[in-house]
Amino acid sequence: MKLEKGIPLIDQHDENGYWGGKFGGNQIAESLNYPIEELTRKFEKLRNDETFIAERDYYFKNFVGAPTPFIKLENLTKHLGGAQIYCKLVSKATGGAHKAYNAVVHSLICKRLGKTYIGGDTGAGYAGKMLSMAAAKFNLKCKIFMGAKDVERQSINVFSMRSYGAEVVPVNSGSQTLVDAVSECMRWWTSENEEAHMCVGSTVGPTIFVKICAWSTAQISREMKKQVMDEFGEVPKDMKLINCVGGGSSAAGFWNEWIDYDNVELIGVEAGGPEGSSKHAAPLTNDSPIGVLHGATQYVIQDDQGEIEETDSISAGLDYPGVSPLHCFLKETGRARYTSASDEEAIEAFQLVSKNEGFVSPSLEPSHAFAEAIKIAPKLSKDTIIVVDSCGDSAKDSKIIAERLGYKI
Cβ nearer to other proteins, comparing 298 with 394: 298
Q: Shortest approach of other proteins to residue 265 CB, angstroms?
A: 33
Cβ nearer to other proteins, comparing 319 with 357: 319
Task: Tally the residues of the chain.
Answer: 409
Q: Which residues pair with 199 in a beta bridge?
A: 120
Give the C-alpha separation, 339 to 327, whole Å.
Answer: 12
Q: Shortest approach of other proteins to residue 343 CB, angstroms?
A: 24
Q: Shortest approach of other proteins to residue 14 CB, angstroms?
A: 11
Cβ nearer to other proteins, comparing 160 with 302: 302
CA distances 194 to 117, 141, 185, 190, Å, are 10, 15, 15, 9
- Radius of gyration over every alpha carbon of the chain, rounded to an integer in angstroms: 20
Cβ nearer to other proteins, comparing 123 with 253: 123
Cβ nearer to other proteins, comparing 173 with 277: 173
Q: Shortest approach of other proteins to residue 180 CB, angstroms?
A: 8
Contacts of 106 (CB under 8 A, 6+ apart): 118, 120, 131, 134, 197, 199, 212, 216
Q: Which residues bind other proteins (CB under 8 A)?
A: 16, 25-31, 33-35, 173-174, 179-180, 183, 186-187, 190-191, 193-194, 289-295, 302, 304-308
Q: Shortest approach of other proteins to residue 149 CB, angstroms?
A: 15
Cβ nearer to other proteins, comparing 19 with 370: 19
Which stretch of DSSP H or E encloses residue 167?
A: strand 167-171
Contacts of 286 (CB under 8 A, 6+ apart): 280, 301, 340
Identify each DSSP E strand in 8-108 by its residue range: 18-19, 23-24, 70-72, 84-88
Q: Shortest approach of other proteins to residue 190 CB, angstroms?
A: 6
